[in-house]
Structure formats: C-alpha cells, structure tokens
A = this chain, B = another copy of it.
Amino acid sequence: MSKLWGGRFTGVTDTLMSQFQDSIYFDVRLWQADITGSIAYAKALARAGVISDEESKTLQQGLAQVQAEFAEKRFELKTGDEDIHTAVERRLTEIVGEVGGKLHTGRSRNDQIATDLRLWLKAEIEQLRRHLVGAQWAIISKAEEYVDVILPGYTHLQQAQPVRFSHWLLSFGWMLERDKARLDDLTRRVDVMPLGSGAMAGNPMGIDRLFLADELGFATISANSMDGVSDRDYLIEFLSWASILQVHLSRLAEDLIIYSSQEFNFVELADAYSTGSSIMPQKKNPDSMELIRGKTGRVIGSLVGLLTTLKGLPSTYNKDLQEDKESVFDTVDTLTMTLQISRAVIQTLTVNDGIIYDKMDSTMLATELANYLSAKGMPFREAHHIVGQVVQKAIDLDQPLNLIPVAVYQQFSDLFEHDMYKVLTFHRAADRHTSSGGTGKQVVRDQLDALKLLTEFDEE
C-alpha cells in the first residue's frame, strides 16, 4: 500500500527524509491505545450511519486480530509503516480488505495521535501513582521504626538543632504527598478526549463524541477542535510534575550520599543498592542515589525541550509536535525506576544511631539557652547575642556547653542559674518543639498518623 497521503505527490520521498520523519521506531509503544481508539471509532462510525453495522463489526474484528498480533509479539513492521497509525491501518487492510480504508473517515492522524497519547499516559500515571505511594509507605515504616532516634538537624549543612530521625525522613513523605496531589490535579487535564477534532476543523460525519469518550473511559471531551489537536499542556504539566518529584528525590539522595560518607556515617545503604570500584577494592558507593540525583538533569531537560518546541508555534498541528513523545516516554521510564529504587533504598537502609549520637555537637543547644534567657524576661534578640558569646567561649575552651561551669556562664549574664543544665539535652530540646509540625515526640506521632491516613486512603 502506498502512503496514506501520497495522492497529489509526484516526487518520491528521499530515504533520508523517511528516516528523519518516521516515528514508528518510538510510537509503536502506543499500539494498544491506538487500536483501542480505532475500535471505538469503528463503533461510532456505525452509530453515525457512516458505515454499516456489518462493516463496523468487520473492522472491530480485524482490529482485535491486529491487537492480538501485537500482544503476542507477532506483529511485523513493514517498509512504509511510518507511524503506528499507518502500521495498524496497513495490517488491518491486509486482514479485512478494502473496508479497512473506511476506518479513517472523518478522522485525522492529528486527533488520533492526540487521543493515543492521552490514553497511554492515563494508564502510566496509575502505575506511577502506585510507585509513589509505595515510596511513601517505605518512609512511614522507617520513620515509625526509628521514631526515637535523634539526629542533628541541619541548615546550611551545619548542625542546627536536634530533630527526630523520623521527622527528617517524614519531610520527604510530605513532599511526595504534594506530588501526589499535583498528579491528581493534572490527571483531570489528561483525561480529556480530543478524538473527533479531525485535522483541526472538527468532525463532519456527525460522530457522537460523548459516546466515544464513554467507550474510551475519558471523563470529558475537548471543547475546541483547533485547540484539541495541538494541546500539549498536559505533557508539560506532566514533565513539570516529574521535574519537581525528581528534585525531591535528588534532595533525599543528596542527604543520603552525605550521610553515608565515612565522615558522617549516619546510615549505610544495602549492598543491593551500592556498587564498588574497578580499581579500589574497598569502595562501596551509593550509586543508586547518585543516579537518582543525576537523572534530575535528564527530566528537567525534557521539560525544557518540550517548552522550547512549543514556544512560538503557529496554531493547531505542526510537525514540530512529533517531538512530544520521546521525552515523555523517557521520563515515564525514569520515574518508574527512581521511585522504586528510592523505596527499596529506604526500606533496606541501616541507621547507625550510636554513631549519630556521638557526632552531635552541644552547640546545637544554643537556641535552647537563648530561649532559657528569654523565658526569664530578656528580649530574645539580646539573649541570642549573649549566647553567641557563650558559644564562642566554648569553642575557645574546646568544651561542650554542658561541661562549662555555671560561673563561666554568669560572666555573660546573671540570669544563668544551675537549672540551665536541664535544658542542655538533645532529646529534651527536640521534644520542646510541641507546636504542630514540630519535632516533639507527640507531634511527630500526630504527623505520622496524618500521613498514614492520607496514604492508606490511597492504597484502597
């Protein structure tokens, strides 16, 4: 069979050009969505009286056969199959004969590909959501297991205040919770059917688009055919979602890479998610986390690529839009891996709580001292300044704050009394943060309960 569009052409397509423009090498991945869409369209054509019920049946049966060939990996591509639509229609016509040529009545590859991609993405989003919730569960379990372990909380990668290990880990659980909410939001905009937009003017065959949407499980239909064939917003939204999620994972990765350095040694990744060196026998590298961090560039790059492609494009379909698929495919594959790997790394992580405790610096309690003075009536700003000087003294003396005699403290303020030593423990300091969202034990438990509730609901 000649090309779908060859009638008015006298010249032949250059081989190089075919290679340049054929998309079958990547869009073959959409076979299921493409055939599902065609079966629905065959039904709709009959409903609209464009073809007979019998013709429709024939088309549906033929398409089912093509579907089976793909499912059983028996489908053979042939020269001239420039894209998945051409390949399917070519094979359909081999099977059912000339009536195959009626399937495309009133339909264009423009609305067809737009529909295929949305159908496919809807299914992928479901999987990704499951992996995302899986990663949240790993976080929740680990956080419960280590709820009493205290960790230095960092700002600027400097020890800041003692926090619960669980509080730190849960912070990523909440990032993922936002990612989930965003995914649900964008899914509503994926779930819109463009089929029936034709090349861009709409459908002149009286096709019932709501029937089609119902058949294909779309929540709604696009409202304007010119917009319908060229709307790729949902892909940008998806890539933007993926970029934010990947940035979250990159931050988790960064923490874990630093925490598993010999100098920190707070955690150890399982062998299963580490690798060694071809030259240095002692090395155990957190490769899994480094790859996740590194792949953030790839995902952001894909977002930029599509935004740039769309910028300044004239209305409706332009061939530039063919560039929308590969980066989305790659991003789906990347996140499918990074979410699962993140889950597994968390599940199998060893926490060296003893070592963590040894590395905690007493100056993390300085804020507690300032609050102590402030509670005695000194303005916080002044208390902060005085404790700053105390810390400097402690550094000069090379002593932890709790081992410095009260007399020394009193050189800086009379308000210091013996009861101040009570504030100088890490657990107590953590537990004093009792406002909602803080690192105190009870509020961390509340936090855990809240996240579990949100996440359990999702598992149903």
Closest chain B CB from A166 CB (angstroms): 10
Q: Assess the B392–A7 pair: CB atoms within 8 A.
A: yes
Q: Assess the A371–B204 pair: CB atoms within 8 A.
A: yes
- In the complex, what residue of chain B is closest to A345 when comparing beta carbons? B17
Q: Assess the A254–B313 pair: CB atoms within 8 A.
A: yes
Binding-face segment, A69-77, A120-128, A402-410, A432-440: A432-440
Q: Assess the A283–B5 pair: CB atoms within 8 A.
A: yes
A311 on interface, CB distance cutoff 8 Å = yes
Distance in angstroms between the alpha carbons of A81 and B387 in the assembled complex: 22
Over the window 164-176 of chain A, the binary record of Cβ atoms lying under 8 Å from chain B Cβ atoms (1 yes, 0 no) is 0001101111110
Distance in angstroms between the alpha carbons of A81 and B156 in the assembled complex: 21
Q: Assess the B319–A199 pair: CB atoms within 8 A.
A: no
A273 on interface, CB distance cutoff 8 Å = yes
Q: Assess the B251–A282 pair: CB atoms within 8 A.
A: no
User: A102-146: which have CB < 8 Å to B?
Assistant: 102-110
Task: Select which of B222, B229, B278, B370 is within 8 A of A281 by beta carbon.
Answer: B370
A19 on interface, CB distance cutoff 8 Å = yes
Distance in angstroms between the alpha carbons of A107 and B98 in the assembled complex: 64
A263 on interface, CB distance cutoff 8 Å = yes
Pairs A–B under 8 Å by Cβ, sample size 27: A4-B384, A5-B281, A6-B385, A7-B387, A7-B392, A89-B381, A101-B381, A102-B380, A155-B200, A157-B258, A157-B286, A158-B261, A160-B199, A196-B437, A199-B280, A203-B435, A208-B435, A254-B313, A262-B359, A263-B263, A276-B388, A280-B364, A282-B363, A296-B308, A297-B305, A297-B308, A303-B307
A181 on interface, CB distance cutoff 8 Å = yes
Distance in angstroms between the alpha carbons of A367 and B276 in the assembled complex: 12
Q: Assess the B312–A293 pair: CB atoms within 8 A.
A: yes
Q: Assess the B233–A201 pair: CB atoms within 8 A.
A: no
A94 on interface, CB distance cutoff 8 Å = no
A353 on interface, CB distance cutoff 8 Å = no
Q: Assess the B16–A310 pair: CB atoms within 8 A.
A: no
Total interface residues on A, CB under 8 Å, equals 202
Binding-face segment, A30-38, A237-245, A413-421: A237-245
- 8 tightest A-B contacts by CB? A7-B388, A202-B438, A301-B305, A11-B271, A5-B276, A294-B320, A101-B381, A101-B379
Task: Select which of B307, B326, B391 is within 8 A of A247 by beta carbon.
Answer: B307
Q: Assess the B156–A319 pair: CB atoms within 8 A.
A: yes
A153 on interface, CB distance cutoff 8 Å = yes
Q: Assess the A317–B101 pair: CB atoms within 8 A.
A: no
Distance in angstroms between the alpha carbons of A45 and B275 in the assembled complex: 27
Distance in angstroms between the alpha carbons of A242 and B109 in the assembled complex: 30
- In the complex, what residue of chain B is closest to A155 when comparing beta carbons? B317
